Structure 1
Amino acid sequence: MKTKFGSLFCFTAVVLTFFVSLSAEANTFPADETLPVQHLIQKGGYTLYIRHGEATIGQDRPDISFMDCTTQRNLSDDGRRQARAVGDFLRKNNIPIEYPVGASPYCRTMETAAIAVGKENVIPVPVLAKAVRLNDAATPAEERRQIISDITRLLEAMPVAGSSLTQTSSPTNIHRCIRRPRSWHFS
């Protein structure tokens, strides 16, 4: 993948998590409200990082298999509505997307992406699932560095001119893979 490293801030991919959560009462974006980033992302040139929709309560089984959705938490009905709302937002606002859209191989992230942009436009990106290993104290330091490096490279890939790359995953530790200016503050 071709990457570009900015000399000023060393942050090249603007990651927009405009799908952190939608309230249970409002499963669509307000029609008369413009998101502050909307006009920027309409021009393309960004990596759009979309969190998967609301999942069912519980935990993934220890013997999780990405090929068997019964071993993991899946989207709830609200999560499916949220995914439709994201897809509707992207289409309604003419947000240019570079296909295929990458998604973590967890069923809930693949389904979120498939509902939002169409199943035929989604491919699994296994490295996104490795972010959960960053939570495990038993993960060796070298493996942690490699995971961070791999995900950072993915998020910093330059999209085709006039479009945006889209990745769908869980927010788990993804912040460790994003280089940002020191002046940015997150609460």
Structure 2
Amino acid sequence: MPRVVRRRSLAAILTAVLAAIVVAIGIARSASPGWAATPETVDPKGLILLMRHAEAPGVGDPPNFQLRDCATQRNLDANGREQARRIGDLLQRLAIRPAAVHSSQWCRCLETARLLEAGPVRELPVLNSFFERREEQEAQIASLRRFLAGLPADGAPVVLVTHQVVVTALTGVFPASGEAVLLRANGTGAPAIEGRIRVEGSR
């Protein structure tokens, strides 16, 4: 009997750990509030992960910020790098890896994208931050919508690593660091929102 109890306790612990790894909230209009991301519930065809970069302490960038000089930027810390790796593991479990991976040109986004190990990383300027250049927001989001409209509904999954301001401007969602909004390509610049995923420890 004690052996059976221990086995059941272990199963309960493992279940709790898995539940803590995957958090799915903000589900689209008709989806169940209790929806959870599993390989059975996530169809990778036409899936778009619009993801905020992993944890990078601070806000914005220093005054001497240079796009091609990571030393002048706000970058991932050790927690952010580990967070990005765990997100990559999650993508693999959800069959979202390999994927077409595109990233903002900011170092914290490029590093996040590479640590996901989801596929070769391509820079995509329409994913860049306009945190300090709000006058560029409308034109940039319009360009991003044109990019999204060109993604096939039955295509391979796409991962877009970007910034909070871009995610919020496009979807209305204010993501935590490392959080991704799940979109579904539909041939328009307004892909359907299916949910949100993040790993425990996202802030």
Change (3 A) 1:60 1:130: closer
1:88 maps to: 89
* TM-score (structure 1 length as normaliser): 0.65
Shift of 1:55: 0.3
2:141 maps to: 148
Shift of 1:62: 2.6
Which entry has the higher C-alpha Rg, 1 or 2? 2
Paired residues for 1:46-125 under 5 Å: 46-57=47-58, 59-99=60-100, 101-117=101-117, 121-125=120-124
Q: What is the aligned-residue identity percentage?
A: 28
CA distance in 1, matches of 2:58, 2:125: 23
1:128 maps to: 127
Does the 8 Å CA contact 1:98/1:160 hold for their aligned counterparts? no
Residues 30-71 of structure 1, C-alpha deviations (whole Å, 9 max, x = no match): 435665244343332121111111003364123322210011
Change (3 A) 1:125 1:116: same
Q: Tell me the SS of whatever aligns to 1:43.
A: coil
Stretches (4+) displaced over 4 A: 32-35
Point out the structure with the larger strand share. Answer: 2
CA distance in 1, matches of 2:54, 2:137: 26
Q: 1:158 aligned to 151, 164, 167, which one? A: 151
Amino acid at match of 1:147: Q
Q: Unaligned regions of 5+ residues in structure 1, if any?
A: 1-28, 182-187
RMSD over equivalenced CA pairs, Å: 3.0
Q: Tell me the SS of whatever aligns to 1:163.
A: coil
Q: Unaligned regions of 5+ residues in structure 2, if any?
A: 1-15, 25-35, 172-189, 193-203
* TM-score (structure 2 length as normaliser): 0.60
